[in-house]
Structure 1
Amino acid sequence: MRILRGTCKHSLDTISRHFSSVLTTILSLSGEFIKLPNPSIEPPDDYKWKWFGNALGALDGCHVDVSVVPSYQGRYRNRKQAITTNMLGVVDRNMKFLYVLPGWEGSSSNSRVLRDAMRNNRQDAFVVPQGKYYLVDAGYTNGPGFLAPFQSTRCHLKEWVASQQQPQTSKELYNLRHSRARNVVERTFGLWKKKWAILRVQSFFDIKDQIRIINACCVLHNFARDRQHVMDDLLLLEVDHEVDDLELEPGDDANLNTSVEVTNEWTNFRQNFADDMYAKYLVRHAKLEM
């Protein structure tokens, strides 16, 4: 605000009123620019996603730095000792937000935030259509609507790059292809933070206004994605050097996500999914060797 006062030659009070007005206007467009997909519409072709035809996108938690009064700092302090809000971000294959829920304290687990988003009594509840699913990392339960990697098997891109090995089992192949597609959510978060500097600097706004600003930046991100692909491509060159699949941190217990029930049917679905994928992979490689 003080920078704007020097640039625009107006009082802080005037700038504050106009800032609040613009922020409110942007947020009024949320329903137009951030919305869950129509499951009946076929998503665009993408090699990374060809194995996951019924996937609508991917989701994860994203920590955004915030400023809070000292008495709140303990609740907002995450495992890396930063003061943040943990935002649930659901994105599509084209790196656009489908659903966002910022506001939870940085000490909250990703699973807990998702559980809140799925509450039946939420006016803006996050709902997964029947027969569809989102890709999630190992911090979430593998249950109906949420397809997670296999535990105790390499599931991060950097592990595959470092090993320079080919998948040897159905679980390894599944996890590799899963991580390649799921990486879209980390790239989206990286691009989003690159674009909007206000997300990277210390804020002097009230925490409620900071959450509104985060929501507004998600709206602006989607607006820009439809119009600035060339600029985004340049920023993504930087993002791809910085993005490193997040390891599952100690304490990020998948079992906390009680909104997603673990079922034998879904467990078998993932295993059969992986086995079928691996069988086709072996046939293809056998033909190449003939």
Structure 2
Amino acid sequence: MRHEKLLGTNRIEIYVEETVPRYSDPLFRAHFRMTRASFQDLLELIGPHTEVKNISLERRTLACLWYVSNQETFRNVVDRFGMSKGSLRYYLMNFCRTMTSEDILPRQITWPRKEEYRAIAEQNAVKYGFPGAIGCLDGTYIPIPGPRDFRDSYICRKGFPAFHLQGVCDNKLKFLDVFAAYPGSVHDSRVFKNSPIANLLANEPLPEEYHLLGDSAYALLTYLLVPYRDNGHLTADEKRYNSVHSSTRVDIERCFGLLKGRFRKLKYLDMRNVREIPLVIVTCCVLHNFVINRESFVDEDIDVDGTDTEGTTGTSPSEHQSGVNKRQ
């Protein structure tokens, strides 16, 4: 049996047997954000952790990928893949729980081992000129309709309801850590303070010569270096520090832009169940790393409008003296 849809000027065919849809490779990647070979690898990854159902694993997975990769409504995705709304929601949540399970997530989003710090820092130093950086930290907003209860707490500084996604990435735009647990009204610095990665770095500090880079929304720490505040009296060295810091830290903005360029549902995640929203967000981050490990990307894949990092507002975070000494 074959299900056909018209998509602009392109006729595409969705086979509902056990076979993968027979798109041309460029069209397959355009709609599902990965090549056919990567899709086969994804099926092999999730297959052992997925229960058998009447609808094939391929079709279920393609429906989930289509949902997170495009901005179509839930109803349109249901019609496209010939299943009920209840079925799609069930398969989507199962897919997200599988991708964020302890069997898969820790293998796709991994914090570097101590013996890897030096190589990462040297790559950043050669590429940008900033020594000792092993990752870049920032937060971004994922727009949502907003829940019916406590909706005001989800209104971000830009005036719309959103969920907060915190990420740490390397110079290959791979996530080293992600954290999605707070509504959009919560400031970056508070999200970081209460995140697992902050707890990890507090209990297992980075060697003194290594650090993360963050913008001035964060407190200055020995393991998190931020720019000098521009009070109009910065020295030439401080201005150069800020310039190189900024050119290095832009990787996290490009990482978020690539994430939202690939998984466009994150431009507006039309879900109201706040318990399920983090599952979908983190699933997209896992898929982001999964694809980067197998495929290259070009700058055109990066959504420049998706780099809506929070920036600095409100009271400036504190500067710990140990961080001040290290930065100096």
State TM-score, norm by structure 2. 0.68
- Report the aligned-residue RMSD: 2.8
Aligned residue number for residue 32 of structure 2: none
**Equivalent position SS for 1:40:** helix
Between 139-148 and 127-136, report the one with greater CA deviation. Answer: 127-136
- 1:62 is displaced (CA, Å) by 0.9
**1:138 matched to 2:201:** no
2: CA distance, partners of 1:206 / 1:27: 17
**Cα drift, residue 127 of structure 1:** 5.6
Secondary structure at 1:207 match in 2:
coil
- How far 1:202 moved relative to its partner? 4.4
Q: Which has the higher contact order (CA 8 A, sep 6+)?
A: 1
| Pick aligned residue for 1:34 from 109, 116, 132 | 109
Q: CA deviation at 1:268?
A: 2.0
In structure 2, how many angstroms separate the alpha carbons of the residues matched to 1:22 and 1:76?
26
Q: CA deviation at 1:61?
A: 1.1
**Could you report, residue by residue, the CA deviation over 1:195-234 in whole angstroms, capped at 9, with x for unpaired residues?**
102112341351111110000000000011122214x433
Tell whether the 8 Å contact from 2:167 to 2:175 is kept in structure 1 after alignment.
Answer: yes
Q: Which amino acid aligns with 1:3?
A: N
Structure 1: distance between partners of 2:126 and 2:231: 20
Q: Given the superposition, is the C-alpha separation of residues 190 and 50 from structure 1 closer, same or farther in structure 2, using an over 3 Å criterion?
A: closer
Aligned equivalents of 1:205, 1:73: Cα separation in 2: 10
Equivalent-residue separation in structure 1 for 2:243 and 2:231 (angstroms): 10
SS of the equivalent of 1:86 reads: strand
Q: Is the 8 A contact 1:138 1:149 kept in 2?
A: yes
Q: 2:307 and 2:85 mapped to 1: Cα distance?
A: 40
Output one character per residue of 1:68-88: Cα deviation in whole Å (capped at 9) or x when no partner: 323221100011111011221
- Inter-CA distance 61–48: structure 2 relative to 1 (3 Å threshold): farther
Report the 3-state secondary structure (helix = DSSP H, G, I; strand = E; otherwise coil) of the residue aligned with 1:52: coil
Shift of 1:25: 1.6
Letter paired with 1:9: G
Instruction: Flag structure 2 segments of 5+ consecutive residues without an equivalent.
Output: 1-73
For the 8 Å contact 1:153–1:172, the answer to whether it is kept is no
Once residues 24 and 54 of structure 1 are traced to their aligned partners in structure 2, the CA distance between those partners, rounded to angstroms, is 36
Per-residue CA shift, 1:164-201, capped at 9, x if unaligned?
xxx97100111100100001011111111111021123
Matched with 2:327 is 270
Distance 1:21 1:204, change over 3 A: same
Q: How many residue pairs get matched? A: 248
1:25 has 2:133 as partner: no
Give the whole-Å Cα distance in 1 for the aligned partners of 2:197 and 2:310: 27
Do the aligned partners of residues 10 and 246 (structure 1) sit closer, same or farther apart at CA in structure 2, a change above 3 Å counting? closer
For residue 6 of structure 1, what is the amino acid of its counterpart? D
SS in 2 for 1:87: strand
Give how far 1:91 is off.
0.7
Give structure 1 stretches of 5+ with no counterpart.
Answer: 155-166, 256-260, 272-290
Question: For 2:106, what is the secondary structure of its paired residue?
Answer: helix
Instruction: Go from structure 1 to structure 2 and tell me whether the alpha carbon gap of 1:27 and 1:245 turns closer, same or farther (over 3 Å shift).
Output: closer
1:9-28 Cα distance to aligned partner (Å, 9 max, x none): 22222222222222222112
Which residue of structure 2 aligns with residue 97 of structure 1? 175
- 1:220 corresponds, among 287, 312, 326, to 287
Superposed, 1:1-290 pairs within 5 Å as 1-28=74-101, 29-41=104-116, 42-43=119-120, 45-46=123-124, 49=127, 51-118=129-196, 128-131=205-208, 132-152=210-230, 169-230=236-297, 232-236=298-302, 239=304, 242=305, 248-251=311-314, 253-255=316-318, 262-263=320-321, 265-271=322-328
